[in-house]
Amino acid sequence: MNHSGKQSQKEITKKWPQRLGRDGVMKEAFGEIFLWNKNMDRLKRVLQRLEAAAVWSKKEMKAYEVKLEEIRAGLNADFAEAMAKSERDEHARLQRQRMAWERRDVN
């Protein structure tokens, strides 16, 4: 973890199963983020139903909803940042590979 308590992209990707290969890992990661967001939407609907039941005040329910949205947005931002870094690294690797092939083909 870095100084802010967040895991680095390298720490995150170390935990991904190597058996899937890069494409499989990417698909799995995006699938998990999709499920995360879907479940966060479900939690918001639960809060809305609780609000209708007058379990807590409207103000308290809105505070919980905002907290959920904050957590969702933070995770999505961190995920997007990690994926962007991973894609930039992959782009650079593939570019080097292409350039090496082009140099070899010229000779």
How many Å apart are CA 83 and CA 30, to the nearest integer? Answer: 9
Report the predicted TM-score, pTM, of the whole model to 2 decimal places: 0.65
What is the rounded average pLDDT of the residues 13-40?
A: 77
Both tokens of 46, joined, read: 């639960």
Helix (H/G/I), strand (E/B), else coil: 34: helix
Q: Is residue 11 part of a domain?
A: no
36-76, pLDDT tens digit by residue? 999 999 999 998 888 888 888 889 989 999 999 999 999 99
For the chain, the domain total comes to 1
Q: Is residue 89 part of a domain?
A: yes
| Domain span at 52 | 21-106
Q: Is residue 2 part of a domain?
A: no
Q: Is residue 102 part of a domain?
A: yes
Amino acid at 73: A
pLDDT over threshold 90, residue 7:
no
